[in-house]
């Protein structure tokens, strides 16, 4: 949303003089400022009060001295209470010069101008340009986007920050406990601290304690399918799901993608991906996901979120997906790109402090709150390394806790080198977190380092300890291995345990599950490579097999 232009207010009871000053102001300043004109002191004061109520930016007031009911000096003095930073200029005749000079001190005028000001190029514009430049230098424009007011250690506030960040929605975070502006806004909107978190939308509507579905509705994100039957439904909007949606939509398939959280999946939480083809300087996971999501929607794919698929069954040859709200979606083919979720760290205090200093893959969202504090990262994979590099920009010290001796076995070489060259990142090998401590938020961690347990202060703990497939809801319909990863392709016919399950005359396609027309791609598929490029490739390939299945 474009910021409103600042205002220059001209006040004079003489219509000819007012028209002349307004004309000259528009000629020079209308590109960057809105010019308002008022023909009396009382009316001008009313206008200034309205501007204050509407939170309009008032940059400069230029008022004539000799006006009935309210003289220029009185008007400019009164305006100081409402707009203390606005520049004030008195327009005066030669006879009133002495009064104008006195008013510079008494009314704190910034300048006075003599009538007539012809030519304005010499007698008007230079002075006003200087004053407006000084105003711009100190002016802080009002934020016109979404504002999220809450408590720093509130798990729901953290979830909403993650949700907005995941959709690349700009927002202003205001901590109620430390921000007078937040306290004033909550009171002005008629709410109490118990109603927090509070989301104030661009249109001014305030939504207390919103769910992610409520927030999605106010952001204009669809959460209901628009058609009765689709050619293909993609379940999950990680890199593989987004790639499938892009290719499906671009090739004319009626494509729907369903995401339970935000685009990008686990990759979307990565603060920096530097080994993805075509981006030599790297990009964030959220940026990559947003680009892909935008591309898919532009090509015609439907996207609904946050919605979760809870069941999948076959009816009359169609695949029927049931959502958490009870609605059903019918489709000819399904691509499962459900991805993986971070494994939880099972130590005392984790459940109680989750979202209040303890986070799973939330480095970008909470990094600024860690300014000049000590933070801990558990895990030695690429996600942990990317988080460490990002957090090091803000935190005093970043400690990486790993069980092994070094990072070589699990992290890319480029990240290991970056970490080695970052002075405020310290690796703690042969270590593990034994407990997290704190009242309503994390305050310290108990770390076992080579058998010696230490209690260390910590602002935040970020956990990246491997992943498990998000396939619990579908394992009754398709065959998964012992760890929950979906089996596809020749794995179904070469393993004697499953050879009788496949009933078709042809072999299953490379990414096809034991149910014809249901495919799996990305990290939740057995044998998949946990890399963004690989996931994108599989999602793209899956559409080829969908075409072959639909042509049978």
When comparing pLDDT for 495 and 2, which is higher? 495
Work out the pLDDT band at 365, boundaries 50, 70, 90: confident
**Torsion, Cα of 180, 184, 185, 188 (10° steps):** 180
Chain segment 9-66, per-residue pLDDT in tens: 999 999 999 999 999 999 999 999 999 999 999 999 999 999 987 778 999 999 998 8
Rounded Cα–Cα distance for residues 189 and 200 (Å): 9
Query: 120-146 in b/e burial notation, b at 16+ Cβ within 10 A?
Result: beeebbebbeebbeebeeeeeeeeeeb
Checking if the pLDDT of 2 tops 60, the result is no
Please return the burial class of 7, using the count of CB atoms within 10 Å of its CB with bins 0-12, 13-18 and 19+: buried
Give the pLDDT confidence score for residue 99 in this predicted structure: 65
Chain segment 185-200, per-residue pLDDT in tens: 898 889 999 999 999 9
Checking if the pLDDT of 3 tops 50, the result is yes
Please provide the DSSP assignment of 167-208 as one string: TT--EEEEETTT-HHHHHHHHHTT--GGG-SEEE-TTS-EEE
| This prediction's pTM | 0.75
Structure token pair of residue 274 = 């530097």
When comparing pLDDT for 196 and 365, which is higher? 196
Structure token pair of residue 278 = 């075509």
Give the pLDDT confidence score for residue 165 in this predicted structure: 87
Q: How far is CA 345 from the centre of its chain?
A: 26
Chain segment 270-322, per-residue pLDDT in tens: 878 888 899 888 888 889 999 999 999 999 999 999 999 999 999 988 999 99
CB atoms within 10 A of CB 50: 10
Q: Under CATH, which number does the domain 7-138 receive? A: 3.40.50.2300
Rounded Cα–Cα distance for residues 86 and 61 (Å): 7
Work out the pLDDT band at 1, boundaries 50, 70, 90: very low
Among the listed residues 380, 335, 329, 342, the one whose alpha carbon sits nearest the alpha carbon of residue 265 = 342
> Mean pLDDT throughout 449-454?
94
Chain segment 383-394, per-residue pLDDT in tens: 899 999 999 999
Residue extents of the structural domains in the chain? 7-138, 146-219, 229-341+469-550, 350-465
Upper half-sphere CA count for residue 527 (Cβ side, 13 Å): 12
**Equal fold, 146-219 vs 229-341+469-550:** no
Checking if the pLDDT of 214 tops 90, the result is no
Rounded Cα–Cα distance for residues 331 and 314 (Å): 10
3-state secondary structure of 324: coil
Give the pLDDT confidence score for residue 473 in this predicted structure: 92
CB 376 within 8 A of CB 391: no
Distances (CA, A) of 74 to 40, 108, 118, 437: 12, 11, 26, 60
3-state secondary structure of 315: strand
Structure token pair of residue 215 = 């927030």
CB 7 within 8 A of CB 33: yes
Please return the burial class of 508, using the count of CB atoms within 10 Å of its CB with bins 0-12, 13-18 and 19+: buried
Rounded Cα–Cα distance for residues 439 and 35 (Å): 55
Q: Under CATH, which number does the domain 229-341+469-550 receive? A: 3.50.50.60
Q: Under CATH, which number does the domain 146-219 receive? A: 3.40.30.10
Q: Which residues contact 31 (CB under 8 A, 6 or more apart)?
A: none
CB 374 within 8 A of CB 458: yes
Chain segment 396-418, per-residue pLDDT in tens: 999 999 999 999 988 999 999 99
Which class is domain 350-465?
A: alpha beta
């Amino acid at each position: 949303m474009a910021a409103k232009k600042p205002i220059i207010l001209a006040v004079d009871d003489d219509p000819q003089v007012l028209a002349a000053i307004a004309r000259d102001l528009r000629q020079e300043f209308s590109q960057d400022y809105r010019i308002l004109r008022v023909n009396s002191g009382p009316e001008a004061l009313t206008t200034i009060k309205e501007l204050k109520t509407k939170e309009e930016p008032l940059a400069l007031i230029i008022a004539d001295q000799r006006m009935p009911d309210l003289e220029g000096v009185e008007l400019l003095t009164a305006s100081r209470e409402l707009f203390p930073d606005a520049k004030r200029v008195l327009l005066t005749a030669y006879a009133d010069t002495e009064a104008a000079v006195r008013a510079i001190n008494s009314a704190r005028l910034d300048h006075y101008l003599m009538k007539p000001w012809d030519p304005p190029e010499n007698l008007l514009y230079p002075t006003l340009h200087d004053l407006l430049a000084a105003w711009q230098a100190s002016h802080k424009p009002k934020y016109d986007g979404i504002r999220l007011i809450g408590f720093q250690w509130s798990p729901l506030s953290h979830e909403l920050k993650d949700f907005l960040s995941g959709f690349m929605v700009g927002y202003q975070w205001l901590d109620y406990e430390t921000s007078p502006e937040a306290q004033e806004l909550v009171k002005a909107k008629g709410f109490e601290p118990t109603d927090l978190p509070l989301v104030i939308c661009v249109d001014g509507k305030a939504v207390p304690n919103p769910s992610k579905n409520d927030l999605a509705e106010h952001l204009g994100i669809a959460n209901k399918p628009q058609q009765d039957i689709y050619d293909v439904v993609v379940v999950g909007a990680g890199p593989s799901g987004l790639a499938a949606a892009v290719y499906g939509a671009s090739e004319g398939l009626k494509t729907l993608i369903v995401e339970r959280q935000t685009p990008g999946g686990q990759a979307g939480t990565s603060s920096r991906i530097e080994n993805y083809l075509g981006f030599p300087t790297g990009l964030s996971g959220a940026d990559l996901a947003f680009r892909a999501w935008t591309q898919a929607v532009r090509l015609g794919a439907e996207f609904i979120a946050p919605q979760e698929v809870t069941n999948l069954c076959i009816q009359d040859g169609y695949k029927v997906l049931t959502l958490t709200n009870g609605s059903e979606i019918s489709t000819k083919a399904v691509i499962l790109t459900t991805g993986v979720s971070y494994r939880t760290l099972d130590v005392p205090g984790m459940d109680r402090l989750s979202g209040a200093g303890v986070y799973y893959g939330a480095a970008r969202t909470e990094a600024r709150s860690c300014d000049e504090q000590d933070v801990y990262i558990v895990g030695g994979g690429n996600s942990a390394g990317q988080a460490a590099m990002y957090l090091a920009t803000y935190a005093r010290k970043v400690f990486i806790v790993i069980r092994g001796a070094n990072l070589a076995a699990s992290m890319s070489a480029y990240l290991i080198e970056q970490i080695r060259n970052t002075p405020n990142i310290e690796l703690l090998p042969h270590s593990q977190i034994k407990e997290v401590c704190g009242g309503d938020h994390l305050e310290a961690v108990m770390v076992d380092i080579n058998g010696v347990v230490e209690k260390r202060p910590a602002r935040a703990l970020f956990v990246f300890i491997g992943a498990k497939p998000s396939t619990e809801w579908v394992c009754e319909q398709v065959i998964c291995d012992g760890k929950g990863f979906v089996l596809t392709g020749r794995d179904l016919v070469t393993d004697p345990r499953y050879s009788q399950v496949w009933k078709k005359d042809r072999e299953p396609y490379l990414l096809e599950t034991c149910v014809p027309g249901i495919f799996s791609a990305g990290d939740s598929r057995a044998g998949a490579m946990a890399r963004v490029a690989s996931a994108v490739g599989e999602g793209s390939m899956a559409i080829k097999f969908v075409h072959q299945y639909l042509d049978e």
